[in-house]
Amino acid sequence: MSRSQPLRASLSLVLLCLGLWATTASTAWASSGIQYRSLVGNATTGGTTPSTQDPTQTPAPPDSTTTPTKPGPATEEIPAALRGNGMWIWQIPRAHGGNIAKIIAQAKASKITTLFIKSADGTGTWSQFTKEMVAAFHAGGLKVCGWHYVYGRYPLTEAAASAYAKAQGADCFIIDAEVEFEKHYVAASIYMRELRRLVGPSYPIGLAAFPYVDYHPSFPYSVFLAPGGAQYNLPQMYWKAIGTTVSAVYEHAYRDNSIYKSPILPIGQTYDGPRVGELTSFRKYGGAYQAAGISWWDWTNTTKIGWKTLGADLPITAGTIKSGSPSLSIGFKGDQVVWAQMLLVAAGAQIKVDGIFASSTRAAVRSFQLTHSLPVSGGIGDKTWAALKRFTPKPVAWDKLRATSLATQAASGSPSRSPLRGGPASSNLPAVAYEIPLGQTLGRR
């Protein structure tokens, strides 16, 4: 999807954001002393899972369990707009020529209950997203959620553009954050806190990002999905674009995303000609994983047989799933480690949240395991994750930490070229791979 053509901008907030950082300066974050190594394998064809573990370290035995868990939340916890079947729309004129009545008729015929319609891009809102449009779809019995591709360059202004969807009557809002937010924990902190200030603490917000967390060690999932952030996680699980199977994309995405505690609501693909059996399988796996809702990218590329398949009745089957959590041990680094450290701190550990699983984190894990009658390995597996997730982490204000660092460095006269970057030490890590070709993610088609 094209991400250009912002239609409206808030100049005053742009100036505010620029002014906030204009006088700051810094040097780059110190690089970690732990070696970074990626074992990618065939990342785009469902091959070897990449590792972000130091190969010189011996991993601790995982405290895994073979007992399947139930990854889905109770349906009543999910707002109506995010339950059932949803369909994503980039440009209204490309959906039945913008004919609202035809869009409603097609949605109902295929049992689509929610439309995810683009409401903003960057700092500008989109004129297609209006109160009148939302009201028309509501009158036709459909829910409407706005979505916004964000870049992180002007987070205050982008937050204002995101809040526009609620002002137009949207039932919920989805953040489409992708490659631009890698290494930008500071921008994510500013954006998320301002968005919550504008829309309130309980307004339904979801995050639609990369599905394979372990491929993106410097993407701030732990900011977007922390308390006070997005309550719902909508990973872009495009199995065909990734080059894998429906079952494999569910297994990998759920394993990586389950640690963040937010309900997972998968996005499947109708573009690029997926087979009828794959569409049906994606729906069945959604039920097996107890997803309260699934949605599809996108309206324009859905074929007649695709529409029919989405609306077909499914037999009631329990399905077979493979569930679990990522195994972490000394030498690992990335946002999964950041999240684990945040949970450990919430449980009382006195450690630095830096995204590096070093000896101090291992000691904190061992102490936690001992206290909670878990196998003491120093590594984090299913049982330790389950115990850690009982705690509520406190969001890290990366922007405030960065501001302190910038103020200290400013005296040296060394200007900062990227004041919105920064975060934990692991935020300097590059992506291991891009499981979805960048031209095929939500924001780039």
Q: Is the pLDDT of residue 89 over 50?
A: yes
Binned at pLDDT 50, 70 and 90, residue 401 comes out as: confident
pLDDT digits (tens, 9 = 90+) for 216-272: 999 999 999 999 999 999 999 999 999 999 999 999 999 999 999 999 999 999 999
Angstrom CA distances, 74 to 71, 77, 203, 368, stand at: 10, 6, 19, 29
Contact of 63 with 369, CB cutoff 8 Å: yes
Percent of the chain with pLDDT over 90: 73
Paired sense of beta strands 124-125 and 112-121, if any:
antiparallel
pLDDT digits (tens, 9 = 90+) for 182-208: 999 999 999 999 999 999 999 999 999
Least confident range of 17-21, 127-131, 403-407, 408-412: 17-21
Q: Kindly report whether the peptide bond that precedes residue 121 is cis, defined as omega within 30 degrees of 0.
A: no
- Tokens representing residue 251 in the block: 């297994």
Contact of 383 with 147, CB cutoff 8 Å: no
pLDDT value for 421: 73
CB atoms within 10 A of CB 65: 13
Contact of 346 with 394, CB cutoff 8 Å: yes
pLDDT value for 64: 61
Binned at pLDDT 50, 70 and 90, residue 445 comes out as: low
What is the Cα–Cα distance from 396 to 55, expressed in whole angstroms? 29
pLDDT digits (tens, 9 = 90+) for 14-63: 333 333 333 333 333 323 322 232 222 233 333 334 444 433 344 455 57
First-to-last C-alpha distance (Å) of the chain: 2
Sheet strands (E) in 151-229: 172-177, 205-208
CA dihedral 248, 434, 227, 357 (to 10 degrees): 90
Residue 163 phi/psi, 5° resolution?
A: -65, -20
What is the Cα–Cα distance from 244 to 441, expressed in whole angstroms? 16
Mean pLDDT rounded to a whole number for the chain: 84
Query: In the beta sheet, which residues pair with residue 114?
Result: 86, 143
Binned at pLDDT 50, 70 and 90, residue 404 comes out as: low
Residue 176 phi/psi, 5° resolution?
A: -100, 90
Q: Which residue has the higher pLDDT, 24 or 414?
A: 414
Angstrom CA distances, 98 to 2, 94, 104, 269, stand at: 19, 6, 11, 22
Domains of the chain: 32-68+325-428 (1.10.101.10), 75-323+436-444 (3.20.20.80)
Q: Is the pLDDT of residue 441 over 80?
A: no
Q: Which residue has the higher pLDDT, 122 or 11?
A: 122
